[in-house]
Structure 1
């Protein structure tokens, strides 16, 4: 059972944002493969109720230029979703199709884009790519509204090939220009000003008079190609399958080098990438079959502690574990900004390249922000998730120093630490002696020591990995 719990915890950290011990036990009883299938079928679970959010945070409906209300909206969905993989995939695509409020200056449009990722992020990649090409937020972010038949702007065409589908080295500069010509005339209707009644949403618009309908040559294809033709050609490339699947591997399995290095840095596990790419192509670019293969694979099951948690994973995983944040009460704005203090400003990635992941999440400032946030939450005995862990420890009876350390490591993950870390934790526990629950005073002291031990554990190097 312990191995089942550890494997299930691994799955839920990667395919979601972690889970309480109660949830892990329920899922372990169902079985690993059954849990994977449930995660892959988000429609089987109820969606987030947006009216609960608006009841407490009405400005989150059309947040406009009022930070952090856009972040409040997004954080609420991350923390309360009962469809963890759907929300995790939306976060994945937000990183791949990185679009930021620093330029868009429309939180409502960014949230609309996140909703596209929720609705389509586990569907067909070709369809998602087409939706992004027609998404006004992306069009504005990459200047395709300035891409005219008589004056080509190559920004969208370049990033489509470099960062969204093929990767550097798999196309030429001529391909960039020809692709950009094919997307001329793809723009959006003029946005009505914010005042006096608030912003109206952007809408995609195709202007045939602004489209270059001339002959184009792209990746070996020749003809009067338009944007849809370009996307159809792109997804047929083997490089596309490998590029998308390497992103999935980096996000769900183990940290890879940063995307610009992929043209000369080999993948961490070539065999795994080959298998994923093969499934991607054989399924006609469907995402769910790739995820099913990935989560059921040995390379995934054996990849524990090889992925450095992103700030979003740290914050959301902590809030879901400790509980008490299911209602967006006052103060939710500060909670929603915590990932930005750790280096991941949700809805505002630093560039079209997205965030640099893996070890680049960590510096002296971001590490302290991580530790302080999680330690503060784990030290709050009023939170239901913290109390649930204390109650489970109490049910084990009097705890020796070794038992206290083992119990806290188990219930916080399980968290795997090396021998030197465990020795340090045990040495601290020995200073407290045996914890007893046989009186109110002893129980209060034991609970306090247990939370202090959990705070020490979340400050370890090992806790930063999933």
Structure 2
């Protein structure tokens, strides 16, 4: 086992980028003082740590007590959790499942159900897959999103029955049209109580309701199982399938390990690393679909440890990682809601994916416009020596001695924002720029002020590099 004293900083930084949203240097060193396996175990057991204090956030947004219909405020609060939580994997898994069980605000325009939907994902994110899939099936936001409120015992609507198989569990090619019909019949009567209108009376929660009088209780055959099957039976049967284990494992690989092809191609394009998928499938089967144990296998594997900078950050991951570096929002602030607009310009809106398929990932996050938005945001956020994270970087470099060579400046900044691995050409270009003004001088107040400005400039150049787009 890796000893606490020998935990590699680069490896720990990799884990914190994938199992969370990155770290500043002080946080990284605290984690790296422990063994890798112990850190993984803590990440997988978030209940050992306190949650961010929602009460404090509520003081900054008191209007939410009477008016919950503002997605930007709730997404700002989610960013606050991402940046400050002592339970980073919980938030990262919530984001992961939000992309798999893609459910959007645009259709319902009812924010309270979306807030409850995200909380349901957070509560069940590392539970047994059955519990998570059952939670989704009883989730009012999902029920409305995929029309299961229109799925009646005498007139079935196949929308949810199809998507629970195609996109939420097994993938195309592992079921028949008859299986879809049987699943739809099993979920008849799974609906919700119609809420009071949002306006002008207030913003009321929506509750799941099972209507026995609207449920088809006839005999059904689903994936070889015959009987008076209901939705819970469907969920249990799905979780037992190897096809489900493979499909969800590929989702996990794509999100936590390395970018894969887009989901619609999976039925014809094999995984990039079939052995990695096999490892997770074995754990799925032996643990009876325990997501926590599948994640343990993932994080402790050699293929995960080797997959550094193989994943393009989503807009949410990118913004959160920049905020971790800047040290902003360690305390709540009234402008958290503006972060929604930031990620929208980069191609993502939390609580409102573009379709039931979710967001296309990997290199599809990047085009000329979105890359410009990313670079500009990183520069604007980190171009301030007074911000806590930037100040800490300056102090770390100045503590190395009175003179800092151009090479030391570049390597120190790369180390402190990652450690970030860059191509030789990128490092050479950064050094060439640093050499134009020679070594940094920390011998006097005036010289230190100039050197601090140069550190900030180098920091903005590093986060503008192509390699910073990867985690």
Q: Do the two structures share a fold, i.e. TM-score over 0.5?
A: yes
State the alpha-carbon separation in 2 of the partners of residues 64 and 172 from structure 1.
41
For the Cα contact (< 8 Å) 2:7–2:35, is it kept in 1? no
Alignment match, 2:150: 146
**Which whole-Å deviations, capped at 9, do the CAs of 1:172-210 have from their partners, x for residues lacking one?**
111111110111111001111224441221111111111
Q: Note if 1:218 corresponds to 2:200.
A: no
Alignment match, 1:298: 302
- Identify the match of residue 321 of structure 2 among 317, 330, 335: 317
Q: Note if 1:280 corresponds to 2:284.
A: yes
Q: Note if 1:424 corresponds to 2:468.
A: no
Alignment match, 1:390: 394
Alignment match, 2:27: 23
Change (3 A) 1:336 1:327: farther
| Equivalent runs, 1:172-187 vs 2, <5 Å | 172-187=176-191
Alignment match, 1:236: 240
State the alpha-carbon separation in 1 of the partners of residues 201 and 358 from structure 2.
33
For the Cα contact (< 8 Å) 1:86–1:118, is it kept in 2? yes
Q: Note if 1:415 corresponds to 2:420.
A: yes
For the Cα contact (< 8 Å) 1:60–1:73, is it kept in 2? no
Q: Note if 1:248 corresponds to 2:252.
A: yes
Structure 2, unaligned runs of 5 or more: none
Alignment match, 2:89: 85
- Identify the match of residue 401 of structure 1 among 394, 399, 406: 406
- Identify the match of residue 375 of structure 1 among 372, 379, 399: 379
TM superposition shift of 1:278: 0.7
**Which whole-Å deviations, capped at 9, do the CAs of 1:22-58 have from their partners, x for residues lacking one?**
1111111112111111111111111011111111122
TM superposition shift of 1:337: 2.6
TM superposition shift of 1:63: 5.2
State the alpha-carbon separation in 2 of the partners of residues 104 and 318 from structure 1.
32
For the Cα contact (< 8 Å) 2:169–2:248, is it kept in 1? yes
**Which whole-Å deviations, capped at 9, do the CAs of 1:280-302 have from their partners, x for residues lacking one?**
11111111111111111100000
Alignment match, 2:114: 110
**Per the alignment, in what secondary structure is the counterpart of residue 380 of structure 1?**
coil
State the alpha-carbon separation in 1 of the partners of residues 358 and 13 from structure 2.
27
State the alpha-carbon separation in 1 of the partners of residues 236 and 7 from structure 2.
44
The TM-score, its normalising length taken from structure 2, stands at 0.96
Alignment match, 2:73: 69
Instruction: Give the aligned length.
Output: 466
State the alpha-carbon separation in 2 of the partners of residues 320 and 191 from structure 1.
39
TM superposition shift of 1:66: 3.0
State the alpha-carbon separation in 2 of the partners of residues 392 and 72 from structure 1.
30
For the aligned residue pairs, the C-alpha RMSD in angstroms reads: 1.4
For the Cα contact (< 8 Å) 1:322–1:386, is it kept in 2? yes
Change (3 A) 1:60 1:343: farther
**Which whole-Å deviations, capped at 9, do the CAs of 1:79-114 have from their partners, x for residues lacking one?**
221110011001111111111111121222111111
For the Cα contact (< 8 Å) 1:101–1:348, is it kept in 2? yes
Alignment match, 2:447: 442
Change (3 A) 1:91 1:61: farther
For the Cα contact (< 8 Å) 2:179–2:222, is it kept in 1? yes
Structure 1, unaligned runs of 5 or more: none
TM superposition shift of 1:20: 1.1
State the alpha-carbon separation in 2 of the partners of residues 26 and 64 from structure 1.
38
State the alpha-carbon separation in 2 of the partners of residues 461 and 63 from structure 1.
42
Q: Note if 1:347 corresponds to 2:346.
A: no
Alignment match, 1:462: 467
State the alpha-carbon separation in 2 of the partners of residues 35 and 28 from structure 1.
9
Alignment match, 2:171: 167
**Per the alignment, in what secondary structure is the counterpart of residue 377 of structure 1?**
helix
For the Cα contact (< 8 Å) 1:213–1:225, is it kept in 2? yes
TM superposition shift of 1:443: 0.7
| Equivalent runs, 1:52-63 vs 2, <5 Å | 52-61=56-65
For the Cα contact (< 8 Å) 1:57–1:328, is it kept in 2? no
Change (3 A) 1:87 1:334: same
State the alpha-carbon separation in 1 of the partners of residues 457 and 262 from structure 2.
36
Change (3 A) 1:62 1:73: farther
For the Cα contact (< 8 Å) 2:102–2:355, is it kept in 1? yes
